[in-house]
A = this chain, B = another copy of it.
Amino acid sequence: MNILTEKQRTEKAEKIADTALQLFQTRSFGSITMSQIAAKSGVGKGTLFNYFETKENIFMRLLLSGYQDYFENLIQDFQKLPSQVSVEEFSNFMINQTQYLIRDKSVLVRLNALRAPVLEGRANMDQTLAGRQVLYETSQRLGQVISEHVTFISKSEASHLFIVQSAIISGLMNMMGLDEFDHEQLSPKFTDFKINLETDAIQTLKFYLTGFFASKKQ
């Protein structure tokens, strides 16, 4: 166990982060304690702080690596597509992705909402920026791949599009649950306040893409 390779170190960090992620699936950032993460990870509290300076750093890493993985997968997915993809096909792809993000990656979106108001205040800047740099590069590669497959969209626009996609989901998620309180369903339903995340996100994104491509074709 003498000297850990970078890989081993990374794996351990991932194990810890993974535990945090599991806790975050069902609980809020504020209600998760470092002691819980340590206990559930099967490591000592001291070890936690060997790997992550602060609680915020753990979640910042989850955010960055979550998006990193997501973007990498998107690149893979895209590279499997035929060389030319129509605007409609691309829109459908984006819509499917939206559904996927919502169904399977909602923690990512929840983490997004914490980034500026909660995490950045106490996360390590250098680590965060290093991660963000890598993520940006991945995002650029993704944009590149998309622009190669889809006429009417540049690398920059494609890269930016995923920011907008996350914004739409994240924003709708922020506004969700007005018919609940702290995840408890309320009897007097505030029907018109109610967000149906999947439906509303897809619709909003559809409108956005339609508007976007319409503006390009002019």
User: Which A residues are within 8 Å of any B CB, using their own CB?
Assistant: 28-31, 110, 112-118, 120-121, 125, 128-129, 132-133, 136, 139-140, 143, 155-156, 159-160, 163-164, 166-178, 181-183, 186, 188, 190-193, 195, 200, 203-204, 206-208, 210-212
Give the nearest-CB partner of A203 in chain B: B211
Bound complex: CA A110 to CA B113 (Å): 10
| Closest-CB distance, A75 to chain B (whole angstroms) | 15
Q: Chain B residues with Cβ under 8 A from A163's Cβ?
A: 175, 178, 192-193, 195
**Inter-subunit contact B116/A174 (CB<8 Å):** yes
Say yes or no: B181 contacts A117, CB within 8 Å. Answer: no
- The SS class assigned to the A binding surface is helix
| 17 more CB-based (< 8 A) A-B contacts, given A116-B173, A206-B211 | A28-B121, A112-B175, A113-B113, A116-B177, A118-B118, A120-B183, A125-B181, A125-B182, A133-B188, A160-B193, A163-B175, A163-B193, A166-B171, A166-B174, A170-B171, A203-B211, A204-B204
Q: Report yes or no: A113 in contact with B121, Cβ–Cβ below 8 A.
A: no
The answer to whether B160 and A167 have CB atoms under 8 Å apart is no
Q: Are B118 and A28 in contact (CB under 8 A)?
A: yes
Q: List 5 A-B contacts (CB under 8 A).
A: A31-B121, A125-B181, A164-B175, A208-B208, A210-B210
CA distance A28 to B30 in the complex (A): 14
Given A132-B190, A143-B192, A171-B171, the answer on whether A113 and B117 have CB atoms closer than 8 Å is: yes
**Could you tell me the distance between the alpha carbons of A117 and B182 in the complex, rounded to whole angstroms?**
8
